Amino acid sequence: MLQHKNDIIPIEVKAGMDTKGKGLATYKKKYADKTILRIRYSLNNLNLTDDLLNIPLYLADCTPQLIALALKML
């Protein structure tokens, strides 16, 4: 979990290219009304799909800036 201002953002870390997992999907189903953004760190490219922001591992230190950009795009 990550706090951004007054919001809680769930995060998931994947070590490889396979990003299949149900953790973030389950969280979204359970807390749909409170989920503004979900973050996944992986080896895949930077990508925003719906409310899921994929951040490449090498950009992890840019997370606050990427969250701000993603929230402007949503």
d(CA 52, CA 20): 13
Q: Residue 16: what pLDDT?
A: 77
Domain ranges of the chain: 2-73
Paired residues of 12 in beta bridges? 40
pLDDT digits (tens), the chain, 74 positions? 999 999 999 999 998 777 777 889 999 999 999 999 999 999 999 999 999 999 999 999 999 999 999 999 98
Rounded to two decimals, what is the model's pTM? Answer: 0.90
Q: How far apart are CA 66 and CA 58, in angstroms?
A: 13
Cβ atoms of 27 and 51 within 8 Å: the answer is no
3-state secondary structure of 60: helix
The angle at the Cα of 49, spanning 46 to 54, to the nearest 5 degrees, equals 30
